Copies of this chain bind each other. A is one copy, B any other.
């Protein structure tokens, strides 16, 4: 069983630019993470874009859905900025794919000492291999149905909704 991982950017992959003092995107750190986790799983990694999720457009989301559709694998992890993760999840759900798709990300960039990225990728791998076909958001140890979750903008924490959105 091969797992597909799509990279779209987000806090997860941000780095610190020593010259400008600003955060920016260079390459994804997913391979470092899988190496650190000594992950002995078969994965296909593809970077679709490298953007802040606040800047993600409809056509970006279409690209993500199209790639999920055409992927041979039916277990897919998508790394994504947390700000609009639920939006992309809904667009994916509308695609009605017969796949298990788990979106995840990080509150702190992986390159920071205190990142939650390694933990989140670990749990996303657990969920994607175990759950039935559907679209999920896995953050901070929890897994949410795509239509029963929102990000609390004050605390930064993803919370379960009792009523579908």
Question: Given A126-B127, A140-B38 in contact, is the A33-B119 Cβ separation under 8 Å?
Answer: yes
Number of copies of this chain that the complex holds? 4
In the complex, A143→B124 CA distance in Å?
A: 13
Asked if A142 and B40 make an inter-chain contact with CB atoms under 8 angstroms apart, the answer reads yes
Mark out the residues of chain A between 7 and 46 whose CB falls within 8 Å of any chain B CB in the assembled complex: 11, 16, 18-19, 21, 23, 33-34, 36-41
- The segment from A64-72, A90-98, A106-114 that touches chain B is A106-114
A121 CB-CB contact with B under 8 Å: yes
Task: Give A contacts to B, CB under 8 Å.
Answer: 11, 16, 18-19, 21, 23, 33-34, 36-41, 52, 107-109, 111-116, 118-131, 138, 140-143, 153-158
